[in-house]
Amino acid sequence: MASIAESKAELIADSQCATGESPVWLASEQALYWVNIPARQLCKWDAVTQKTTLWQTPEMLACIAPHTAGGWIAGLESGVFHLLPQADGSLQSTRLCVAPHARPDMRFNDGRCDRQGRFVAGTMVLDMGLAASSAGIYSYEKNSNHPAELTLLLDGLIVPNGIAFSPDGRTMYLSDSHPTVQSIWTFDYDTDTGTPRNPRLFVDMTPLPGRPDGAAIDQDGCYWICGNDAGLIHRFTPEGRLDKSLAVPVKKPAMCAFGGPLLDTLYVTSIRPAGIDLSDQPLAGGVFALNPGTRGLPETPFSL
């Protein structure tokens, strides 16, 4: 296993999120956005003022991506929404389509846009302990050739996570975080149709520290993924070799994203578990900034 690299984790927001997820750097605002799923919150940290702003969402909010019309395209509980934060602290929300959940106790989980601007996101059953393989990966695009509905890309998953796309957009990454799976796969991704094909195992995380959670891609095409339960963020080369791990002062890092003016900062959200002693990780649920030693790529906004 690769050694743990030295990189001081700076706490930028002591947000104490029950489940902090989906960090996205918005260059136009020099700000980091993320979500607190159970609290139904969209969160923003302003890198200039160092202030944090919160907006309440109508349902549990799980994943966001920038929208070319302003605001965010987002996966909530019942479907895909367009969210527009308002200066007065309110949030304008419009549901774009309904999620065809396999059962009623589900919500969206990890998601982002592919390099062409389609919104790709996964669903999950709320109670992970059920180990229900009812989750799916869906794609959303709205133009003259496609109706305003979700397209099922993959199914049979339990807790889909780690969705990411190679710099050229032709490889899709996907993980399943459930303790019984703990795997990361790659797919050939048809950029014209938005279809993943030819799945193969990229990394079996079972012998490595942490369960695979949210992820990001750097400029070299390397895949960074949070090792949930291990307090680590792992960097894998495109060949699937673990070559670096960065530590954070919490056990459950949830998702990472590149940001900052040069995209050379790695921001990490985390989880604050309820009902357990947190004396050894008082910053659980916070958002951290690390120096990864490389740069990332800007997130593609929803534009279809």
Q: Closest Cα to residue 5, out of 256, 295, 244, 270?
A: 244
Cβ-defined contacts of 205-211 (< 8 Å, 24+):
205/175, 206/182, 208/1, 208/234, 208/242, 209/1, 209/245, 210/234, 211/177, 211/178, 211/179, 211/182
* Alpha-carbon span 166 to 163, nearest angstrom: 10
Q: Which of 110, 114, 176, 213 is catalytic?
A: 213
Q: Tell me the one-letter amino acid at 75.
A: G
Q: Tell me the one-letter amino acid at 247.
A: A
* Alpha-carbon span 175 to 51, nearest angstrom: 33
Chain length of the chain: 304
* Alpha-carbon span 84 to 124, nearest angstrom: 25
Phi-psi region of 182 (alpha: psi -120 to 50; beta: other; left: phi over 0): left
Judge whether 213 counts as a catalytic residue: yes
* Alpha-carbon span 48 to 11, nearest angstrom: 15
The two beta strands, 52-56 and 41-46, are antiparallel
Q: Closest Cα to residue 110, out of 55, 28, 166, 37?
A: 37
Separation in Å, CA 41 to CA 60, 95, 113: 8, 16, 20
Tell me if 10 sits within 8 A of 27, measured CB to CB: no
Catalytic center residues: 213
